[in-house]
Structure formats: C-alpha cells, structure tokens
Structure 1
Amino acid sequence: MAKLNVQDTMGNLGDYLREQRRQAQMSLRQLAEVSEVSNPYLSQIERGVRRPSAEVLGQIARALRISAESLYVRAGILDIDETGTRMVEDAIALDTRLTERQKTALLDIYRSFVGPEHVADDQLATTVTEANQEENS
C-alpha cells in the first residue's frame, strides 16, 4: 500500500510539472536545456516513473520560475504547514487565468499579509539536505 502512495505522489508531481511547463510555454527539450536536467530524465519525472532529488527539483523550479517549496511538498519532501500558506501559493501558481506577472504580484501581496511564516531558508536547506542524503543511501 505504501508503494501506491509513493506512486500517487510522483504522478501528482509529474502532472504538476507538466502543467507548469505548459503554462511557461516550454517544451520538454527547452526545460531540459534551461534546468540542466536531461530530457529523458524530465520525461520520466513527468510520467511519474522517477523520483527526483531535491536538488533536481530546485533546478526545475528555477527554470520554471516557480517555488521550489511547492515542488518539495508535491514530491513528499516537505509537509504542508498548518497555516495553509503553501496551498494558497500553489493555488496562485496553478491558476491558468493569471499571467506570470500577476502571479508574482499576488504572491507578494499575500506574503505581505501573512508575514514570513513559511519555512525559513535554513530550515528548508536542512530538510532538502536530509532528503538528498536519504536518496543517496
């Protein structure tokens, strides 16, 4: 049963990545070039076949100009916090009616209201490091 949950998580991550890539109007090849992750590997991630490391997710997030945190949550590396901050940020990022500029503006406004309650950079770095170490074991 645990395998099913992992597979569901990876499938959801792949679907999310594919949607973000399409919204960015990038082909898989373009994303591979910008993120410096191989085209076949990205394809496997999108299809839910491979589980990427936190480092690879960070590269993909930078290339797509989305929150690495949202990818870490979808990959099961981070848990959604109780305040729902990540859920709101994900909802803004997923809204196809918004331009990238509008999304950035909304995120800035939202964060100004809720404050810096999301994961601190050092806590995020620790979590990512631990996830990478687990994967390499």
Structure 2
Amino acid sequence: MNESPIDKVADLGRDIGEYIKQQRSNAKISLRQLSKLAGVSNPYLSQIERGLRKPSAEILQQIAKGLRISAEALYVQAGILDLPQGGPVVDAVRADTTLTERQKQVLLDVYESFRRENAATAAAGTATTEQPEPDNKE
C-alpha cells in the first residue's frame, strides 16, 4: 500500500516530535522546562512531541536553542533540509548514539576547521611551488 503525500507529512510530524522528545529526555529537561527555555507554550510543545503539530522552522530554531543543539539537526529531522554530505568521519560522528547533538556539532565544526586549514595550507604551498623558476643565465 502506497503512502499518500498527506501521510508522509504526518509521518514527518511524528518523526520530529519523537526526535525532540528524545533530545529533551537525553538532556534531562522536562517538557515544562523546555517550554520556558524555547519560549513555546507547554501545550503546543506537547502537541509537537506527540506528532499532532508540525512546527515551523522558526519554532524549531527556538526549540533547538532551548535544547542547546543545532537548529540544522532539527531541520534535517523535520525534512526542511537535506542531510548534509558526509564522509566516513562525519558519518561516524553523526551515527554515534553516545554523543549529544551539541557534542556532535562541536566535533564536526572542529573537524571542518582542520580540513579548511589544511586545504588553505595546501593551496598556499601549491601557489608557491608553481612560481616560475628564475633564469640563471649570465
């Protein structure tokens, strides 16, 4: 049996709600505490977690701030953003269930900064080695 587009949207709502509830549980924050931290009403947050409401990107950003995780993680989970391209290191970090979303994001930020630094160093090294040799004809 094929799912209709409406069913798929409903599934996304349940998925993001379950994900938020899981992150809240991992952070050991009550629904009421997250409601205050995120500036979202307690009943509305409860409806999101139960999959009855699909939050906007703005609400997801507020919830991410309250959970101290990246908004991107919630956007990906909600289907707003595609999963970023990875590689073996990125995939391993994202797959690690023992790390919080915030820890994963910090690790990935450090990893990417090292990659950018190495790429810049390599580009600078290539630029200096590509200089034409001076003529030593006398």
Q: TM-score, normalised by structure 1?
A: 0.68
Structure 2: give runs of 5+ residues left out of the alignment.
Answer: 117-138
Contact 2:70/2:101 (CA < 8 Å) preserved in 1?
no
Q: What residue number does 2:111 align with?
A: 110
Contact 2:73/2:101 (CA < 8 Å) preserved in 1?
no
Identical residues among aligned pairs (%): 54
How many aligned residue pairs are there?
A: 111
Render the CA deviation track for 1:88-134: whole Å, top value 9, x for unaligned.
Answer: 49826x72x2367854542333323555xxxxxxxxxxxxxxxxxxx
State which structure, 1 or 2, has the greater radius of gyration over its C-alpha atoms: 2
Q: TM-score, normalised by structure 2?
A: 0.68
Change in 2 beyond 3 A, CA 1:20/1:90: farther
Q: What residue number does 1:70 align with?
A: 73
Matches within 5 A, 1:1-137: 1-81=4-84, 83-84=85-86, 88=91, 91=94, 95=97, 97-98=98-99, 102-103=103-104, 105-113=106-114, 115=116
Displacement after TM superposition at 1:79 (Å): 2.1
Contact 1:70/1:90 (CA < 8 Å) preserved in 2?
no
Contact 1:9/1:76 (CA < 8 Å) preserved in 2?
yes
Change in 2 beyond 3 A, CA 1:48/1:107: same
RMSD of aligned alpha carbons:
2.7
